[in-house]
Amino acid sequence: MRPDCARRFVLTGLAASGAALFAMPAWALGTSAWSAGQAYDALLNDTARVIDIRSREEWQDTGIGAGVWPISMHEARFADRLFAAHALAGERTVGLICATGGRSLSVLGALMRAGYTGYADISEGMLGSGAGPSWIAAGLPVVRLDAALASLPEALA
């Protein structure tokens, strides 16, 4: 599949997937599911990159995990920026985080159906879910939106 067609498929899959994917556990999709702590350890060990796909309003309310790239699924060019982040990550896994794991699992499912690999779901999210307490509750470092945007690689801006 050509990259531009695959990207359209991913976006179409996200729009069409609706609530059905939100109810699917990560293991049902054969995905990698990480806790917030595992994701942060991977960042510290330089074995992963993490993308926060929430909205700007959510980022402003809670901040963004330290070292995490803010790339909102609610903004234009999301797919292009997502694939650019994957390219910048090289051989590292790209973790996806949202508020409670629903949106990140939905995006991951669309990527998997399109044949993409190298992504993982941070299933407890920034605010917590049945998968765990959250990035924030675990006491992992958080930075303000302006600091996260300032550290975003130019190719992702």
DSSP the chain: --HHHHHHHHHHHHHHHHHHHHTS-GGGGT--EE-HHHHHHHHHTTSEEEEE-S-HHHHHHH-EETT-EE--TTSTTHHHHHHHHHHHHTTSEEEEE-SSSHHHHHHHHHHHHTT--SEEEETTTTT-BTTBS-TTTTT--EE-HHHHHHTS-GGG-
**pLDDT for residue 24:** 44
pTM: 0.82
**pLDDT for residue 15:** 44
**pLDDT for residue 28:** 40
**pLDDT for residue 144:** 97
Which two structure tokens, joined as six digits, stand for 142? Answer: 């958080």
**pLDDT for residue 133:** 83
- Distance CA(76)–CA(58), nearest Å, equals 17
Across the 157 residues of the chain, what is the mean pLDDT of every consecutive 10-residue run? Answer: 49 44 42 88 96 97 97 95 96 95 93 93 88 88 96 93
**pLDDT for residue 26:** 43
Say if CB 106 and CB 10 are below 8 A apart: no
